[in-house]
Structure 1
Amino acid sequence: MAESAACPAFQLGRSRYDQSSFLGRLRHFVDIIDPSTLFVSEIRLKECIKLLDDYKHGTLPPGVSDVQLWEAQKIKQVIGLLLPNQTVVSTIIWQWLNQSHNACVNYANRNATKPTPTSKFLQGYVGAVTSAVSIAVGLNVLIQKANKLSPATRMIIQRLVPFPAVASANICNVGLMRHNELSEGIDVLDNNGNVVGSSKIAARHAIMETAFTRVVLPMPIFVLPPIIMSYLERLRFLQSNRRLLLPIHSFVCLLTFGLSLPVAISLFPQMSQIEVSRLEPEIAMATDCKVVTYNKGL
């Protein structure tokens, strides 16, 4: 009763906690990563989605509290890119959310030796979202029209669709978000850490290495869980205990992401080196070093 009394009125798509204060934001993110959501059954998930749909259309049953609505929204937000049988709308929404996150990550982890205009940020954002949505929706439509495929084969392919969409969008995202580096160049340093000059060639290498990392990063989580789950779902134990599918799927995703993240970011050193002979002539004239260093970014 105390929790209900202190609970704010429900607002669809908003946070339960005050986002203008540090404590409110902290409570918001702690709520999002609540591990109890891993044990939500498919039936419970569908109930939450229906409850939110009823609220949206003004057909909410009497007696439903704000606490129940906030909890339903929290559970629904567990769903993401890996859900099978997505609609066109859900595909667009989740690709948009994913690329919005990636745009911020790429911007925050760029080589910041040169300022990035807001227009470049917006170009990268729009380009990445557009490419991800176009590829994901296009592949889904093609698969749905592939009548010659068996249901099992079609299901596996559908679950693999997010990977090429996200991988290509990630490349686009990095390239467009950091396009300013290609035109302005990035600082290269000598053995003593002094700036030798600004190199567009080094910038190209930095962006290519980062883009490759962004392709490798989602590979395990988009490829392995669908394959593993397609096998596990055929087990008699899970067929009779369907409520365990979501937590097991989440656990498999957690393990694969935990593996892919350190592997991907370890492919290239953040402070990478390149031979001076491969750079612009003015860089070679400005130093006696054979090799210079540049910040690749993450």
Structure 2
Amino acid sequence: MQLFVKKLLPAPLLGLMSAFTVAMVRSPEFDNGIEVMDRNGNVIGVSKKAGEKAVMETALSRAVLFGTTFFLPEVLMYFVQRARFVKNPRALGPVRMFVIMSVLAGMLPVSFSMFPQCGEIKRADLEPEILTSTEETEFFYNRGI
């Protein structure tokens, strides 16, 4: 139980907190919406549904980034300690930092590439006031970072 609470439980909690932080910081996009464009880049209107989708995608990518970066080094360090790759216990600190930096460096591009920067939303998912101004079937929005 102690292993679970000290080593494994913080990873999903950190992922959830990261997602929650993104949702709170970008909450104006939930309320006000974001600009929606057609294929040519012309702004058609402002959509709350596109804003919700953009914030959810960003929150999910941050949860994966920080949750994995916290969880995977613990698992890797468990195997390093069990296999006794490191003979000196003092060397475990620098090895742990190297593993954390390596996982973070690997997960950063994965997190940013989970969803495209220019998201796509279907006509049926938009508000009626936007639909009356155009006949386009697919719309695009900037997801943000």
Q: Displacement, 1:198?
A: 0.5
How far apart, in 2, do the equivalents of 1:215 and 1:287 lie? 36
Match of 1:187 in 2: 35
Q: Which runs of 5+ in 1 are unaligned?
A: 1-148
Render the CA deviation track for 1:66-88: whole Å, top value 9, x for unaligned: xxxxxxxxxxxxxxxxxxxxxxx
Letter in 2 for 1:257: L
User: Which structure's residues are more often strand, by fraction?
Assistant: 2
CA contact (8 A) 1:273 1:291 kept: yes
Q: Displacement, 1:234?
A: 3.1
Q: Displacement, 1:262?
A: 0.8
CA contact (8 A) 1:225 1:253 kept: yes
CA contact (8 A) 1:156 1:230 kept: no
How far apart, in 2, do the equivalents of 1:253 and 1:247 lie? 10
Higher RCO (Cα < 8 Å, 6 or more apart): 2
Count of matched residue positions in the alignment of Structure 1 and Structure 2: 145
Match of 1:208 in 2: 56
Match of 1:284 in 2: 131
Letter in 2 for 1:167: G
Structure with higher Rg: it is 1
CA contact (8 A) 2:14 2:67 kept: no
TM-score by length of 1: 0.46
Q: Displacement, 1:214?
A: 1.1
Match of 2:19 in 1: 171
CA contact (8 A) 1:189 1:292 kept: yes
TM-score by length of 2: 0.91
Distance 1:194 1:237, change over 3 A: closer
How far apart, in 1, do the equivalents of 2:39 and 2:65 lie? 31
Q: How do 1:45-194 residues align onto structure 2 when only pairs under 5 Å count?
A: 149=1, 154-155=2-3, 157-194=5-42
Residue identity over aligned pairs, in percent, reads 39
How far apart, in 1, do the equivalents of 2:35 and 2:79 lie? 50
CA contact (8 A) 1:156 1:226 kept: no
Q: Which runs of 5+ in 2 are unaligned?
A: none
Please tell me the root mean square deviation across aligned C-alpha atoms, in Å. 1.6
1:288 alignment partner, SS class: coil
